[in-house]
């Protein structure tokens, strides 16, 4: 008869990295990339509900700041074969695209050919990323689809 004993100690682990760009700690279920963590939704919602859900989960709809982050999001979208909401919108002023969580202007943009276009004057005010396309699309905010949340706060892992 074998008896196994386990001693459980109260342990507090604080993770600090000299270069946070290389090692980002993320909450369970979130994917690290660069200095942010990303959560890919399983459910589909309109843009406003997606924004609210990201806030509830401790983040915001993804704000794509550069080509590296754009390529990361595009790889996810292409592998899932599902369109996803980003945090970009021109809800407040037509043609003035901003990241709604930070209210910062969209300085890096990767619009698909012919976008943004408010197709057939359909009030397309929210930005999505679609599989199989090389750039972003403006879409009606009431369209139901998946979304990507981002959290750029460095996480401190505490165990115990």
pLDDT number for residue 156: 42
Residue 18 lies in a domain: no
Instruction: Identify the CA nearest to 141 among candidates 99, 95, 104, 86.
Output: 86
pTM: 0.80
User: What does the alpha-carbon distance between residue 119 and residue 114 come to, in Å, rounded to a whole number?
Assistant: 10
pLDDT number for residue 3: 47
Residue 2 lies in a domain: no
pLDDT number for residue 118: 79
How far, in Å, are 50, 130, 131, 142, 147 from residue 73 at the CA level?
A: 16, 10, 10, 22, 11
DSSP letter at 21 equals T
Residue 100 lies in a domain: yes
pLDDT under 70 in the chain at which residues? Answer: 1-23, 119-121, 154-160
Residue 20 lies in a domain: no
At 1-13, the pLDDT tens digits run 444 443 333 322 2
Domain containing residue 139: 35-149
CATH assignment at residue 50: 3.10.100.10
Specify the number of domains making up the chain.
1
Residue 134 lies in a domain: yes
């Amino acid at each position: 008869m074998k008896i196994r004993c386990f001693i459980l100690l109260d342990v507090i682990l604080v993770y600090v990295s000299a270069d946070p760009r290389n090692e980002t700690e993320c909450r369970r279920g979130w994917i690290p990339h660069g200095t942010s963590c990303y959560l890919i939704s399983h459910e589909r919602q309109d843009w406003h509900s997606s924004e609210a859900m990201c806030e509830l989960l401790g983040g915001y709809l993804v704000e794509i700041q550069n080509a590296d982050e754009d390529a990361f999001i595009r790889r996810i979208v292409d592998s899932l074969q599902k369109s996803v909401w980003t945090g970009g919108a021109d809800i407040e002023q037509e043609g003035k695209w901003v990241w709604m969580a930070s209210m910062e202007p969209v300085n890096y943009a990767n619009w698909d050919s012919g976008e943004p276009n408010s197709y057939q004057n359909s009030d397309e005010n929210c930005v999505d990323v679609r599989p199989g396309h090389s750039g972003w699309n403006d879409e009606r905010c009431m369209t139901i689809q998946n979304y990507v949340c981002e959290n750029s706060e460095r996480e401190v892992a505490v165990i115990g």
